[in-house]
Amino acid sequence: MRRVATPERPDWREHAARAGFHFHSFDGAPYWDESAHYAFGLAEIEDDIEAPSRELHALCLAFVERAVEDGGILASLGIPEHAWDAIRASWRRRDPALYGRLDLSYGGAGTGPAKLLEYNADTPTALYESAVFQWLWLEDGLARGRLPAGCDQFNALHERLVARFAAIASTRAIAFTAFADAPEDRGTVAYLQDCALQAGLAAPFLPLEAIGLDSDGWFVDAEGRPIEALFKLYPWEWVFADPFGRAVGASPTRFVEPPWKAVLSNKGMLAHLWAMEPGHPNLLPTFLEADPARAVLGGSFVRKPLYAREGANVLILRDGAVAARVEGPYGGEGYVRQGLAALPRFEGRHALVGSWIVGDEPAGLCLREGDGPITTDRARFVPHVIDP
């Protein structure tokens, strides 16, 4: 795994505009950053990222099987009791999942196994740029001779997303919803709508505020028509806190991601995974905040809220001193303490590896660089290649 400085294309913004990639910059600062790329050896991809990702995902599913039958586990995750039946029912029906992203600390061959930091299993973003614009960058780089001939990319995302929509569709249509005025969320959902269309489904967009609930328990669109299947880029913990959230369990409407994904997107899961597989090479010792066993971590650990996004409310302690902290609105449901696995630094930048799962299979890679040790919404997306 190497960071390779690469002069950015003078016309990449025109490429982005033609491709519909409109959230490539935030507040005038680049989010898409092609001034460098990461180069991997094939063994690094296959042995250090892809194989562990498949194993970690399977371990997560084994945890769901255990968690849905144990109210004590669900309570430890801060999931409200009124949501338990909806979660259980969706798992027992085996409501299908679409995708997720495992975030890993990995510095390349010889630096130790990749370590799971968290699983964004419910509402991961960075998808369009991983699946499409990163690939277009590779093709253009090869065509212009800017990248070594024969290099490749770990990226089967688009094909697998289209195939997954075709495989899981139980109706001829799936509606999509998100915050319409959030560019990244809307861009992610627009891309997924396109994947669904390519899978032969109707894929209308419904603003969140247009969705209602009828007297028969269906979630409905603005005209009162029942929604049979709904993709929501809206976290389950927010759904369960909403007035309509209590209706999910009894509703005939089916959701993507399904309610059981609330178990996996919860950082408390990391403590239970460690208890299930202590010493697993790709897991970090992690404990719920109230667990006395957390003392084994000493004064060096990462404190994370059970529910949080973009690094908010994360605290890093090293030898008892605060090494980094990000403020935010989360933490009311509790915290975990996770053993410290500092992100590798390349030319002063902290690199986070995101390993995509589509269905149950690893499907691609994304890398984000941050200025600090906690990855926030200001982290930049940097493309990657596999060496020839």
Q: What is the pLDDT of residues 302-321, one digit of tens each?
A: 999 999 888 899 999 999 99
Q: Are 122 and 265 in contact (CB under 8 A)?
A: yes
Q: DSSP per residue over 330-341, as a string?
A: --TT-EEEEE--
**What would the pLDDT profile of 154-176 be if each residue is shown by its tens digit?**
999 999 999 999 999 888 999 99
pLDDT-based confidence at 68, cuts 50/70/90? very high
The answer to whether residue 103 scores a pLDDT higher than 90 is yes
Mean pLDDT of 227-245: 95
pLDDT in tens, 313-362: 999 999 999 999 999 888 888 999 999 999 999 999 999 999 999 999 99
Residue 70 has pLDDT above 90, yes or no: yes
pTM: 0.96
Q: What is d(CA 176, CA 192) in angstroms, rounded to the nearest whole number?
A: 8
N- to C-terminal Cα separation, the chain:
13
pLDDT of residue 51: 98
pLDDT score for 271: 98
Percent of the chain with pLDDT over 70: 100
Asked if 376 and 350 count as a contact pair (C-beta separation under 8 A), the reply is no
- Got the DSSP string for 32-43? B--SEEEEE-HH
Position 191 scores a pLDDT of 97
Taking the C-alpha atoms of residue 379 and residue 373, their distance in angstroms, rounded to an integer, is 11
User: Residue 33: which pLDDT band, with cuts at 50, 70 and 90?
Assistant: very high
Mean pLDDT of the chain, nearest integer: 96
Give the contacts of 252 (CB within 8 A, at least 6 positions apart). 216, 217, 218, 226, 228
* Residue pair 248/86 in contact by the 8 Å Cβ criterion: yes
Range 360-383 average pLDDT: 95
Question: Given a cut of 90, is residue 28 above it in pLDDT?
Answer: no
- State the pLDDT confidence band at 80, using cuts at 50, 70 and 90: very high
pLDDT digits (tens, 9 = 90+) for 187-217: 999 999 999 999 999 999 999 999 999 999 9
User: How many Å apart are CA 258 and CA 290, to the nearest integer?
Assistant: 29
Run of H or E including 142: helix 134-143
> How big is the CA angle at 233 (ends 324 and 115), to the nearest 5 degrees?
40
Residue 27 confidence (pLDDT): 84
Whole-number pLDDT of residue 291:
97
Residue percentage of the chain with pLDDT more than 90: 93
- Mean pLDDT, rounded, for 99-103: 98
pLDDT, residue 64, reads 98
- Tracing tokens 């139980």 back to the chain, one arrives at 170
DSSP class of 96: P
Cβ atoms 289, 307 nearer than 8 A: no
Whole-number pLDDT of residue 308: 81
At 299 the pLDDT is 96
